[in-house]
Structure 1
Amino acid sequence: MSEAEEKPKAGTQISCSRDFANWLARNNVSFGLTSYQSGRLYLVGHQTNGVLSFHERHFVRAMGVSATPQRIFLANHYQIWRLENVLAPGQTEGEFDRNYVPRNAQTTGDLDIHDVGVEKSGRVIFVNTKYSCLATPSATHSFKPIWKPDFISRLAPEDRCHLNGLAMKDGEAHYVTAVCRSDVVTGWRDRRAEGGSIIDVKTNAFVTQKLSMPHSPRLHDGRLWVLDSGRGRLCTVDEKTGETETIAFLPGFLRGLAFHGPFAFVGLSLPRDGSFSGLELDDELKKRDAEPWCGVQVIDTRNGDVVQWIRFTGEIRELFDVFTLPGVKNPMATGLLDTTIQSLITIEDWDEADRPAAS
């Protein structure tokens, strides 16, 4: 692990597969993850000496992320942050080849924002879980609703169906996931074991209603993927028939899914009493004589094998999102609590055409 400016949370141990750093180097990728429970954004890369780099920054209740190698949008407790890489191509800051700096934040209030996406126009959209809808930031208000499921009768701060996941396609919202089709306050809590849905945003049609607490729908390599979280399964779903195929079982409550080529990066959390109890996942763990994980496992989707992993033990028990950064070797971020944020000043290129004419 690298010497990050912020140390892992006290009482937390981090372990990883032996060749993970070299694997990231061979595949020309790094990745990140969020933990709302610990309030952290984690960035994982590799150093030139073959050591895994683990960098963390504090964002209260860090949740959904939409990321490219140059920009990260991050939802947290009551805001959506935009972080920009300030390093030029080929420029480094020590071992780091990206430095994501917070440039602005849209204050939304506590909407329990889950997944985040960016439209082809550049507009940010997000899953507004508290109000059971998709929304976009407003210049004057907390949010502007842009879609809700047909079965939700009105917008209310009641988290009726636990709308949580968003799959983008060609810069547009395409699918969402919900724990059930309840239209009463927190009705999803009584429908955790089954009835989990994928909904087509364009048609309002259900692709399937046979999942258990689904999260993180994604479109990749011509297929629809989803985490059947209540059963601990990484699945594909036939967009026409709704039939599911299990690619792999992972020992944890699954949230956060990202891809790099044939490899799926999957986030695992420890099952929680209450919201996560009474799920098929419990029986699967007992049947396999397995302890639940908190961490990230990298799955080869061609055969379901775990090829790499990182695991947290101790105080960090739950993760939310996972994202990949292709072409990035070793990312870092400048945190809001980092004193260097006051002195880190960069200047955008000044085009000659923009300069005032000499008098």
Structure 2
Amino acid sequence: MLRSEAGVLNTHFRKFDRPMGLAADANRIAIGTEMQVVEFHNIPAACNRLQSSQPHDACFLPRVAHHTGDINVHEMAWVQDELVFVNTRFSCLATRSGTYNFVPVWHPSFITQNVPDDRCHLNGMAVRDGHVHYVTALGESNDASGWRANKKNGGVLIDVQSNQIAARGLSMPHSPRWYDGKLWLLNSGTGTFGSIDLASGRFEPMVSLPGFTRGLSFFGPLAFIGLSQVRETAVFAGIPIADLPIDQRCCGVWVVNLQTADVIAFVKFEDAVQEIFAVEVLPGSRYPELVNEDRELLASTFELPD
């Protein structure tokens, strides 16, 4: 969590097993990890029990842990109060179940089987008018790991409602978002942030940033964008951002003013942290806490119906 403490920036870390997907609103946070989706709820009364130099205004405690198996959970969102997540290994959108590891609810038209082959590397999702309306994938493939063959510019944006390709020729796209009447997108392989002209399917870049862009959230006229330094692996080889020298690739969160296209702030990690997957703004909270390992607090804090 990035938050202000006594006039300086406080970077507050919590440990999870391979965290990637993230969904958040004022009173709950869901985190997709290596084999679970864990949901935390805000319990304001617990703030008084936290030891801190500054009063907390939110305290998120674990409420539900759902075991998915290793499905490579990517982006997530609450849709009409149901948590929908991108199941990347099975190339589908899915929901939780009291009986099954997950329930597939949609897959691209070119995917023919529910198998853990990561065929197209489905990764991002955008909610519009109360439904998942768009998703991103790194390729248009029905073969196991087939997206890798043309990752430089084989990325696609898919209209979920029609199951048609809305844009092609993207470079490892991530984090589509419908905001303020436009469809925003991170063209991650080029390190750019911009929007999609839905009439033509053309990506219109707004700003180029010094890293692999992944993770996007908005607040007012501001866009908060995650940047990764990108690892020296075959996954990222051959994409434009990987051509930058490693010391010029950054990891952190950049803030862009949508009205001027200016970068107005950034948080840069220079050691230890090399990748950001998801970014979410917590509206209405300035100094939140998330507790996942304090056994004493978790064992003695209870929430009951009125």
TM-score for both structures, normalised by structure 1: 0.80
* Residue 240 of structure 2: aligned partner: 280
| Per-residue deviation, 1:326 | 1.6
* Residue 6 of structure 1: aligned partner: none
1:294 and 1:313 in contact (8 A); partners too: yes
**Pairing partner for 2:67 from 107, 113, 118:** 107
* Residue 254 of structure 1: aligned partner: 213
**Pairing partner for 1:183 from 130, 138, 142:** 142
Q: Deviations over 1:58-87 (max 9, x none)?
A: 111111111001110111111111101100
Q: 1:180 to 1:341 in 2, by over 3 A?
A: same
Higher relative CO (Cα under 8 Å, sequence separation at least 6) belongs to 1
Q: Structure 1 residue 212 and structure 2 residue 150: aligned?
A: no
* Residue 156 of structure 1: aligned partner: 115
Q: 1:223 to 1:88 in 2, by over 3 A?
A: farther
| Per-residue deviation, 1:317 | 1.0
2:28 and 2:41 in contact (8 A); partners too: yes
Please say which structure displays the higher CA radius of gyration: 1
Q: Structure 1 residue 265 and structure 2 residue 221: aligned?
A: no
Q: 1:130 to 1:347 in 2, by over 3 A?
A: closer
Q: 1:54 to 1:238 in 2, by over 3 A?
A: same
* Residue 242 of structure 1: aligned partner: 201
1:311-350 equivalent positions in 2, closer than 5 A: 311-335=268-292, 337-348=293-304, 350=306
| Per-residue deviation, 1:308 | 1.1
Root-mean-square deviation (CA, aligned residues, Å) is 1.9
* Residue 129 of structure 2: aligned partner: 170
How far apart in 2 are the matches of 1:135 and 1:90? Answer: 34
AA in 2 matched with 1:203: S
Q: Structure 1 residue 61 and structure 2 residue 21: aligned?
A: no
Which structure 1 residue ranges, 5 or more long, are not aligned?
1-42, 351-359
How far apart in 2 are the matches of 1:196 and 1:225? Answer: 15
> Number of residues paired by the alignment?
302
AA in 2 matched with 1:191: N
* Residue 308 of structure 1: aligned partner: 265
Secondary structure (helix, strand or coil) at the match of 1:319 reads: coil
1:92 and 1:98 in contact (8 A); partners too: no
* Residue 142 of structure 1: aligned partner: 101
Secondary structure (helix, strand or coil) at the match of 1:224 reads: strand
Secondary structure (helix, strand or coil) at the match of 1:230 reads: helix
| Per-residue deviation, 1:196 | 0.7
Q: Deviations over 1:96-125 (max 9, x none)?
A: 2111111111111110010011111x1111
| Per-residue deviation, 1:239 | 1.9
Q: 1:347 to 1:114 in 2, by over 3 A?
A: closer
Q: Deviations over 1:113-162 (max 9, x none)?
A: 10011111x11111010000111112111111111100112111100000
* Residue 24 of structure 1: aligned partner: none
* Residue 82 of structure 1: aligned partner: 39
| Per-residue deviation, 1:53 | 2.5
2:21 and 2:278 in contact (8 A); partners too: yes
How far apart in 2 are the matches of 1:46 and 1:92? Answer: 20
AA in 1 matched with 2:301: I
1:151 and 1:183 in contact (8 A); partners too: yes
2:222 and 2:256 in contact (8 A); partners too: yes
AA in 1 matched with 2:240: E
AA in 1 matched with 2:294: D
* Residue 98 of structure 1: aligned partner: 58
Q: Deviations over 1:319-346 (max 9, x none)?
A: 11000012111111112x2233444413
| Per-residue deviation, 1:90 | 9.7
Secondary structure (helix, strand or coil) at the match of 1:323 reads: coil
Q: 1:176 to 1:208 in 2, by over 3 A?
A: same
Secondary structure (helix, strand or coil) at the match of 1:185 reads: coil
1:173 and 1:201 in contact (8 A); partners too: yes
Secondary structure (helix, strand or coil) at the match of 2:218 reads: strand
1:99 and 1:334 in contact (8 A); partners too: yes
Q: Quote the sequence identity (%).
A: 40
Q: 1:143 to 1:343 in 2, by over 3 A?
A: closer
| Per-residue deviation, 1:315 | 2.5
